[in-house]
Amino acid sequence: MGELKRTHDCYSITEESLETEVVLMGWVHRRRDHGGLIFVDLRDRKGITQVVFAPEVDEKSHQKAHSLRSEYVIAVRGRVRRRPEGMENPKIKTGMVEVACLELRILNTSKTPPFPLEEEKEVSESVRLKYRYIDLRKPHMVENLTLRHSVCQAMREFLNQHDFLEIETPMLTRSTPEGARDYLVPSRVNPGRFYALPQSPQLFKQILMISGMERYYQIVRCFRDEDLRADRQPEFTQLDMELSFVNEEGIMDLIEGLITHVFSRTLGIELNTPFPRLTYQEAMDRFGTDRPDTRFGLELVDITDIAAGCGLKVFNTIVEKGGVVRAVNAKGMADLSRKDLDVLTEFAQSFGAKGLAWVKIKEDRSWQSPIAKFFKPEEQEAVMTRLSAAPGDILFFGADSRSTVDRVLGELRLELARRRNLIPEKDFNFVWVTHFPLLEFDEDEGRFKALHHPFTAPSREDLDLLEEDPARVRSRAYDLVLNGIEIGGGSIRIHQEAVQKRVFNALNIGDEEAEEKFGFLLEALTLGAPPHGGIAFGLDRLVMLMAGRETIRDVIAFPKTQKAQCLMTRAPAHVSMAQLAELYLRPDWKQEEGQT
Residue among 114 and 548 whose Cβ is closer to RNA: 114
The CB-of-31 to RNA minimum distance in angstroms stands at: 7
Distances (CA, A) of 498 to 467, 509, 525: 13, 14, 9
Bridge partners of residue 396, in order along the sequence: 328, 358
Torsion of CA 7, 10, 12, 13, to 10 degrees: 80
Query: Considering beta carbons, is residue 67 or 160 the nearer one to RNA?
Result: 67
As measured in angstroms, the least distance from the Cβ of 201 to RNA is 8
**DSSP H or E segment with residue 27:** strand 21-33
Closest approach, Cβ 200 to RNA, in A, equals 4
Give the DSSP letter string of 85-116.
Answer: TT---TTSTTTTEEEEEEEEEEEE--PPPSS-
Residue 241 CA to its chain's centroid (Å) = 18
Residue 380 CB, shortest distance to RNA, in Å, is 33
Nearest distance from residue 447's CB to RNA, in Å?
Answer: 11
Angle between helices 402-419 and 280-287 (to 10 degrees): 60
Distance from chain centroid for Cα 132:
20
Count of CB atoms situated within 10 Å of the CB of 36: 10
Smaller CB separation from RNA, 444 or 512: 444
CB 23 to RNA: min, Å: 20
Residues composing the chain? 596
Q: Which residue, 323 or 454, is less far from RNA as judged by CB? A: 454
Minimum distance from CB of 389 to RNA (Å)? Answer: 29
For residue 382, count other CB atoms closer than 10 A to its CB.
17
Contacts 24+ apart (CB under 8 A), 386-391: 386/301, 386/303, 386/306, 387/301, 387/303, 387/327, 387/329, 388/329, 389/329, 389/361, 390/331, 390/361, 391/334, 391/361, 391/362, 391/363, 391/364, 391/365
Of the two residues 203 and 387, which places its CB atom closer to RNA in the complex?
A: 203
Name the nearest CA neighbour of 218 among 274, 254, 171.
171
* Residue 65: φ, ψ to 5°: -65, -20
Cβ within 8 Å of residue 228, ≥6 positions away = 234, 560, 561, 562, 563, 564
Considering the complex, state which of residue 92 and residue 465 has its C-beta at the smaller distance from RNA.
92
Nearer to RNA, 112 or 272 (CB): 112
Query: Using CA atoms, how far apart are residues 305 and 481, in angstroms rounded to an integer?
Result: 31
Least distance from RNA to the Cβ atom of residue 374, Å: 30
Rounded to a whole number of angstroms, the minimum distance from the CB of residue 428 to RNA is 20
Rg (CA), the chain: 30
Which residue number, 83 or 265, has a Cβ lying nearer to RNA? 83
* Nearer CB in complex with RNA: 176/260: 176
CB of 48 to RNA, least distance (A): 9
Please report how close the Cβ of residue 575 comes to RNA at its closest, in angstroms.
Answer: 18
Q: Is 48 exposed, middle or buried (CB count within 10 Å of its CB: 0-12, 13-18, 19+)?
A: buried
Task: Let me know: does 565 contact 265? Beta carbons within 8 Å.
Answer: no
Residue (302 or 415) nearer to RNA, CB: 415
Q: Estimate the crossing angle of helix 248-267 against helix 139-161, to 10 degrees.
A: 140
